[in-house]
Amino acid sequence: MSLDYHFTVEQEVGSSTHAFFGFNGTAGIWRIAAINEAGGWKDRTTVEDMDLAVRASLRGWKFLYLGDLQVLIYLVSDVLIISTN
C-alpha cells in the first residue's frame, strides 16, 4: 500500500463519512479534552498515536483529515543530530 493511497483514500474517505481512521502522528492537532477523555497519552506501545485515536474514537470523538493543508517539516539527515538537540 502506498502512502498516497493511505492519505488520499483511507483518511479522506474516513473523514468525509465521519468514520474512524488511523491517526499517524504527523502534523496532527488534538483537543486536550479528547486526549484527557481518552485516558491520556500512553507510551506503553510503539503505536501510541493509533492507540490514542482508537480510544478517542471509542469515546465518541470524531476526526477530520485536511488533505489540502500543508505543513513545513524539518527532516534530520543524521540520527546523532537528534540526540544533541
| Number of domains observed in the structure of the chain | 1
Banded model confidence at residue 35, pLDDT cuts 50, 70, 90: very high
Residue 53 sits in which domain range? 3-84
pTM: predicted TM-score of the whole model, two decimal places: 0.70
At residue 43, does pLDDT exceed 70?
Answer: yes
Q: Is pLDDT at 14 greater than 60 in this prediction?
A: yes
pLDDT tops 80 at residue 73: no
- Return the pLDDT at 79: 64
Q: What pLDDT score was predicted for residue 85? A: 53
- Residue 48 in contact with residue 42, Cβ under 8 Å? yes
